Amino acid sequence: MNLQESITAFYKAFIRLVFNVTIVVLLISLSAALVRTILEIGLLFTEATVRLSIKELLTNILSLVIILELIRAFVDYFEYERVRIEVLVEILIAFMIREFMIFIFAGNVKAVEIALWALGIVLLLGARTLAVIFKPTK
């Protein structure tokens, strides 16, 4: 085995280690967020304003979806040995929807702002559709 092959093997092993550690950290974060979300369901019954408790619950659930999508992206890396653009766009779509919902719950919403958020989400959906249609061949 020459030097280049050994360095490449070390690089691949190191990347696998980093991705595995990242997946473990994301799983721990997911577990903590899930427990927190379950505990905050009680706020629906005890909170003085139900709107605030629903906002927190919705934010936490959408954050869980984003963490799940991130875990899927890391697992897909091992399966395909590359990061698929459609998975990254799906993560971005989930994040945009989360931020849009937080924006709506914050109040003071204007029609132009809603139209711009909706346009951004539709453009991302179009990008995801194009990523699925035009998959790179291996």
CA dist list (Å): 35 to 42, 56, 62, 106: 12, 14, 14, 25
Residue 138 covered by a domain: no
Q: pLDDT tens, 62-99?
A: 888 888 888 888 888 777 777 788 888 988 998 898 88
The pLDDT of residue 116 = 92
- Which tokens sit at 110? 């204007």
| Model pTM above 0.85 | no
Residue 41 covered by a domain: yes
The pLDDT of residue 73 = 83
Q: Rounded CA gap, 122 and 126, in Å?
A: 6
Specify the DSSP class assigned to residue 54. Answer: H
Residue 121 covered by a domain: yes
Q: Rounded CA gap, 22 and 30, in Å?
A: 12
The pLDDT of residue 50 = 65
Contact, 48 vs 69, CB < 8 A? Answer: no
The pLDDT of residue 10 = 93
Stronger pLDDT, 9 or 40, i.e. the higher one: 9
Specify the DSSP class assigned to residue 138. Answer: -
For the segment 52-58, the average pLDDT, to the nearest whole number, is 75
**129 band by pLDDT with thresholds 50, 70 and 90:** very high
Average pLDDT, the chain: 84
The pLDDT of residue 47 = 62
Residue 20 covered by a domain: yes
Residue 25 covered by a domain: yes
Q: Which domain holds residue 105?
A: 3-133
Give 14-17's long-range contacts (Cβ < 8 A, gap of 24+): 16/78
Is 80 exceeded by the pLDDT of residue 138?
no
C-alpha triplet 46, 57, 72: angle, nearest 5°? 150
Domain count, the chain: 1
The pLDDT of residue 48 = 66
Specify the DSSP class assigned to residue 135. Answer: P
